[in-house]
Amino acid sequence: MARLCERPGCSQPADVIYGIDADHLTVWIEHFDGSVAYRAGVLCRRHADAMVVPLGWVLDDRREAVPRLFKPREEPAPVRPRQKRHKVFHHDDTAQLELTVPPELADDDMDEAARATPASEAELPWKPVFDESDDLGGLLTAESPLLSRAFGRRQRPSA
């Protein structure tokens, strides 16, 4: 009866046996001849070719008498035909937003070029405006003293 690969979910026939030599930090693999050595596992060719070992360990591949640094592929990789890419042009009809100094904040003696200066370059002071009566539909209604003080609903009790 043919042995199958031990990797979970793989049902390919076994092609190699492998073993672990923990004393020398080595994992060895060699051809499967039908008999399994004591404490040796079996793998299919795909899983044997993809085997990696932990950092510091050595993988001793004994499937070839003379080991090679690089192994050639047995079958060439399939070449997919290139598909033409269609260029997509987006028509953008939006205009650039122009930021200018509002007339009420502009000095009377400022020239027209200075009025067209963007607000970020003019360094206008900005202050946020809060509506303190809005609780966002009850979202800011806090019961704890800390949160109620944070949202301005309840003042800190004086001690």
Mean pLDDT calculated for residue range 25-31: 91
Residue 93 lies in a domain: no
pLDDT at 24: 92
pLDDT at 55: 93
Residue 116 lies in a domain: no
Q: Which domain holds residue 48?
A: 16-61
Residue 145 lies in a domain: no
Q: pLDDT digits over 72-92, tens only?
A: 666 766 777 777 777 776 767
Residue 130 lies in a domain: no
Mean pLDDT calculated for residue range 38-58: 88
Q: Measured between alpha carbons, how far is 116 from 99 in angstroms, rounded to an integer?
A: 8
Q: pLDDT digits over 95-149, tens only?
A: 776 777 777 766 655 555 555 555 555 567 778 777 777 767 777 677 778 877 7
Listing DSSP states for 23-54 in one string gives: TTTEEEEEE--S---TT-EEE-HHHHHT----
Residue 26 lies in a domain: yes
Residue 51 lies in a domain: yes
Domain count, the chain: 1
| Whole-prediction pTM | 0.42
